[in-house]
Amino acid sequence: MRSSSLARREFLKLGAGLGLGAVFGWSNPAFAARLGTRATFRDNFLPRDTARNCVFIFLNGAPSHIDTFDLKVGRWTPSLLGVERLSTGIDWPSGLLPKLAQRTKQFSLVRSIETQEAAHERAQYYLETGRRLNPGLRNEIPNIGALVAFDFEQQGRRKETDTFPGFMRLGATQTDNGFLAANFAPFGENDVVRVTPPDGQIAFDRRMAILQTLNDTRSAVADGVRQPLPVFQEQATKIIKDPTAATTFAVDYNGAEVRRYGGGYFAYFLVLARNTLKANRGTRFIEINQYGWDHHQEIYTNPREGGLQQLGRNLDTGLSAFIDDLAAAPGTVPGKSLFDETLIVVMGEFGRTVGDLNRLGGRDHYPYAMSALLAGGGVKGGRVIGATDDAGAKVKDPGWEYKRAVHLPDIVTTIYSALGINWFQVLAGTPSGRPFYYVDPLAIGDERSYEIAGLF
């Protein structure tokens, strides 16, 4: 059978001629049936279930942990970082991240993370899937967000009003829906501009009626490519006819809201994500990319867009505004805000070398220590989990009861638990025939993965 992602691309071409540019792939029923065999190897387990949504902000290229979330001061530290000891007792680069310095009671830090990859492609794949890269299975393994969308649908947690796709990805990344059906593929920034029919709803309805006539005429033919097309059409029609879609995605790239978030593509992505969450139309996982953190040279002195100063300013302004807006928006549960119901995870794919800068005035790839910022979705603010040594070179205190550093499968486990997903599940019927475990700690030799309970 041809892949569902290929079928999705073919239907997008068809949709463009029909005013259906916003079409996102939906499931091939035959394939979904094969994947329907599910099993759990730990049934007496309840996830934490403190969040309805997750926003994963991927600092693409890997920020220097000792200049951001795990600040270490030495002869290399420039004045631009504005080192300050905050009321929470942590050293913080207030010159680089001043707005976040005022919001430390709204987020917590994990400073005891290690990864097992130090090359961008492999490390990014690992971050997005919780799995080490196996080239033979690369196209099979789904992004975390696709699996979240799949699980919400399988568990009956999508409502009739949930017309938006479960997984949104803003910015290009390494992975998509993998072996999961095409309705779990990411909906992106190039799709949001196509949700309004170019010549109005009446013309759209007329073309859809013609398309339905064609479908009825060819209903006897059901090859592997065309079988899911009616499902694509149905779901595309729902999102295009939902009036919320047009207002949600009508974000002016150069407008006041984007400027308030700091301006540029990252601010635009954050405003789109905020609007999508406020619309509450079924999108439960949003991945946002901020590019440029690969500072092998001129980490402190590059004044351009990709420099530490500019990236820090954009992250600080955008994330602070995002937190404030979610905190001001009502949640679905009385007394809770949208911030309370949304887990925010901010991290890169690995850390960077510590101590003095390299000969180019930068920092290189470093897998032995890295940090993450987590907020909302049940996370208690003002906490620091774990610690590295004085140089930031290795994990000194894991910060939890397990005698090892935090690994990426533990981050994935924490996300699933917060979203109410049982991470002990396994899927059968994959294309390779191998069982697919929601979390795969055995890939790095751990007996199992754990949620970072100290955050909650």
Q: Which fold, 47-190+233-455?
A: Alkaline Phosphatase, subunit A (3.40.720)
The Cα–Cα gap between 367 and 118 comes to 6
Residue 334 scores a pLDDT above 80: yes
Average confidence (pLDDT) over 115-127: 97
Helix boundaries (H) for 70-134: 98-101, 120-129
The pLDDT-based confidence of 53 (bands split at 50, 70, 90) is: very high
Which helix H or strand E contains 286, and what residues bound it?
A: strand 285-290
Give residue 167's pLDDT.
96
Exposure of 380 by Cβ count < 10 A (0-12 exposed, 13-18 middle, 19+ buried)? middle
The Cα–Cα gap between 73 and 390 comes to 9
> What is each CA distance from 164 to 15, 22, 233, in whole angstroms?
17, 10, 14
Residue 439 scores a pLDDT above 70: yes
At a CB cut-off of 8 Å and minimum separation 6, what does 303 contact?
Answer: 309, 310
The string of pLDDT tens digits covering residues 229-256 is: 555 566 667 777 788 988 999 999 999 9
- Residue carrying structure tokens 């984007």: 258
- The rounded mean pLDDT for the chain is 86
382: left (phi over 0), alpha (psi -120 to 50) or beta: left
Give residue 9's pLDDT.
39
Provide the residue ranges of all domains of the chain, joining segments of one domain with +: 47-190+233-455
Give residue 356's pLDDT.
97
User: How many CA atoms within 13 Å lie on the side-chain side of 450?
Assistant: 16
Write out the two tokens for 183.
Answer: 């309705």
Q: Check: pTM over 0.85? Answer yes or no.
A: yes
